[in-house]
Structure formats: C-alpha cells, structure tokens
Copies of this chain bind each other. A is one copy, B any other.
C-alpha cells in the first residue's frame, strides 16, 4: 500500500516538476487510476493543493493553476514584506550561528551539480533563512510563496549568468545577516527579490510563446 500522503506528494511533485503542464485539466478519476488510490485520498490531496495554489477549480472540474505573471509580481511584493521582516528579526537574535548551515548549503552547489539541485537550493535558501527568524508565520509565508514561484523558477535556473548573480547576492545577504547589520541585509534582500522578479517576468514574457507551444498556460500580467 502507498504511504499516507503519497498521492498528495506525488501529485505535487508532478505539478511542480512540470510533468503536468500549467493549465491542464485534471479529473479525480485520472488521478485515482494514475496513483492507484481511491477518491477519498485524491480529494484530500486536491483540497490541500488548492490551498497551496497549485490547482484550482475550473467550473465543475479541476485545473493545474496556470503560470500567472500578475501573480508573480504580487508575490514578489509579498515576499519582500515577509522576508525582510524575517531577516531583520534574525539579525536581532543573539545566536545567529545557524547562518553557517545555510552558507554551507549554498557552497554545496558547483559546476557539476544538476539543475534540479540548483533549483531546490535556490528556494531553500530563502525558506531556511526565514526559518531562522523563529517566527512560524513568516516561515510558512515564505515557504508557500516559494512553492508558488517554483514552477516559474525552472526558467531562471537555465540562465548561468542569472544563477551566479543570485548566488553572489545570497552570500552578501548572509554576510550582512551574520554581522547583524539588519538594514544592509534588508536592503540587499529587497534588491535581490525585486531583481529576481524582473528577470523572471521578463524571461517568462519572452518565452511565453514557446511555453504555450509546449501546452503550458501562461497568463499575462
């Protein structure tokens, strides 16, 4: 038998990994047969994924949420608010030694690290940084925002220059946080998030035609 949250995890994996394209229709029966589960766990999974914004109701049926450029821009504003608050909180803590763990995480990526790993670590940087604040709500907010951004970020990972720039910015943010310079850390983080958003939205707007050709629904800003 499958583990408890198996349907949910596997389905989320397929959606986040773009194995099921943004905008695709989903039927409970298809998921049921695909994962060998019955409708009860399928429905639970869909309800959870709905709150994560990964699937939505399309009239009567279910749809994998399209990539929404307007939403990406709004998320950037939201992230800026919560991540800046989190890093400021972290800077005010006495023990900031856990920052080293995040630094190590960044350093674990080198030239022969697979794309998936860069993608994951790029998100985990922000999530773990928020976790350091000790505030559960700021942490969850960042984690949920990164989940929503996850699919769009596959594109950024393909750009070497953007990646090394992002990593440099990540290191600079950590350095400021480590010495407790809240203002500088906040400033760098803001710049990073806004820049990241710009690159992402531009890149998506350019690739939009190609993405649609692959069957990925991309909603304009």
Contacts and interface: CB of A to CB of B under 8 A. Distances in A.
Number of copies: 2
A135 B85 contact: no
Contact of A138 (B43, B71, B78): B78
Contacts of A138: 77-78, 81
Interface residues of A, number: 23
A202 interface: no
Given A77-B89, A77-B138, 12 more contacts: A40-B43, A43-B44, A47-B47, A47-B48, A75-B137, A77-B137, A78-B82, A78-B135, A78-B138, A81-B82, A81-B85, A82-B141
Contact of A85 (B47, B75, B80): B80
A70 to B, nearest CB: 9
Contacts of A80: 85
Contacts of A74: 135-137
Interface in A99-156: 135-138, 141, 145
Nearest to A45: B47
A44 B77 CA distance: 31
A51 interface: yes
Nearest to A81: B85
